[in-house]
């Protein structure tokens, strides 16, 4: 069986990085990817945007927290994992996320805003 995901996209927000009580870092990341969907009648490219939930652990999470910010283009290699829980109304909820195995920033490093 194979469970592998490769994504290239932009962070939609700054990562949310926290340390567990045992000191392991966990980063929650939101990523947007675009898929080319052909051209419209005017010849303009059409794209469909998908939003993905990612989670990184350990050194990868530390790196994400230190160096990555909203808008940054990244390459992600990981696997899918679906979490299940019951909300306050008793409804069963699901969320599929990408567990990051490796992550690499792509393109030029964004310029810091001038003070």
The candidate with the shortest Cα–Cα distance to 103, out of 51, 65, 49, 47, is 65
Q: Is residue 75 one of the residues assigned to a domain?
A: yes
- The range of the structural domain enclosing residue 75 comes to 5-105
Report the phi/psi class of residue 59: left, alpha or beta, with left for phi > 0 and alpha for psi in -120 to 50: alpha
User: What is residue 95's predicted lDDT score, i.e. its pLDDT?
Assistant: 93
45 has a pLDDT exceeding 90: no
H or E stretch covering 30: strand 25-39
How many domains does one find in the chain? 1
Percent of the chain with pLDDT over 90: 82
Q: Is residue 115 one of the residues assigned to a domain?
A: no
Q: Is residue 114 one of the residues assigned to a domain?
A: no
pTM score, two decimals? 0.83
User: What is residue 114's predicted lDDT score, i.e. its pLDDT?
Assistant: 42
Q: Is residue 110 one of the residues assigned to a domain?
A: no
12 has a pLDDT exceeding 90: yes
Q: Is residue 30 one of the residues assigned to a domain?
A: yes
Q: Is residue 47 one of the residues assigned to a domain?
A: yes
Q: Domain with 40 in it: what CATH number?
A: 2.40.50.140
In sequence order, which residues have a C-beta less than 8 Å from that of residue 81 and are 6 or more positions away? 96, 97, 98, 99
Q: What is the 3-state secondary structure (H, E, C) of 59-113?
A: HHHHHHHHHCCCCCEEEEEEEEEEEEEECCCCCEEEEEEEEEEEEEECCCCCCCC
What DSSP state is assigned to residue 22? T
Check: CB of residue 11 under 8 Å from CB of residue 29: yes
Average pLDDT, the chain: 92
């Amino acid at each position: 069986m194979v469970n592998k995901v490769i994504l290239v996209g932009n962070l939609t927000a700054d990562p949310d990085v926290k340390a567990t009580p045992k000191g392991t870092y966990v980063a929650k990341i939101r990523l947007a990817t675009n898929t080319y969907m052909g051209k419209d009648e005017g010849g303009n490219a059409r794209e469909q945007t998908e939003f993905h939930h990612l989670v990184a652990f350990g050194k990868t999470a530390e790196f994400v927290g230190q160096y990555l910010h909203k808008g940054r283009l990244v390459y992600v290699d990981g696997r899918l994992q679906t979490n299940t829980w019951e909300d306050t109304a008793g409804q069963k909820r699901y969320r599929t996320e990408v567990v990051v195995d490796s992550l690499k920033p792509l393109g030029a490093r964004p310029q810091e805003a001038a003070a």
